[in-house]
Amino acid sequence: MITKECSQHEGAFDCTPFCRECKGQQETTRHGSLNPHYDITTYADGYGEWHARIDFLGPMGNSGEAERIVYSAMENAKRYIRNELKVRQSAPLRRTYYEVTANKIDSMNRLWSITLGEK
């Protein structure tokens, strides 16, 4: 797990919620190449709610293999959000619900990126 400052603003700490990399949080946590098919980045928004962005290294179509990769990525993203909550909360962890907050598809309806967030 790697925490890094937002590279879009070179340490100026003036990111806005429209920043594509950190969404205004100034830093992101990247979970490296744990899987050869995707990378997961976790971040908290301005309201303290955690999100996990999954960037696929290739387009995910409608095949069974692609669906398995997407399902596995979403389960890992949920686990990373729970881990971030455990680290930053002193109270016992409550039941966490998730929702898809964003996704990126191309003109052929192939999935390139998906973002999960706390509900």
Range of the domain at 15: 2-118
| Side-chain-side CA neighbours of residue 89 (13 Å) | 13
Report CA Rg, the chain: 15
Quick: pLDDT tens for 16-65.
565 656 666 555 665 555 578 898 988 888 888 889 999 998 899 889 99
- DSSP assignment of 35-74 equals BTTEEEEEEE-TTS-EEEEEEEEEEE-SSHHHHHHHHHHH
- For 70-104, how does the pLDDT look when each residue is reduced to its tens digit (9 = 90+)? 999 999 999 999 988 888 776 777 888 999 999 99
Q: How many domains does the chain have?
A: 1
Quickly count: other Cβ atoms within 10 Å of residue 43's Cβ.
23
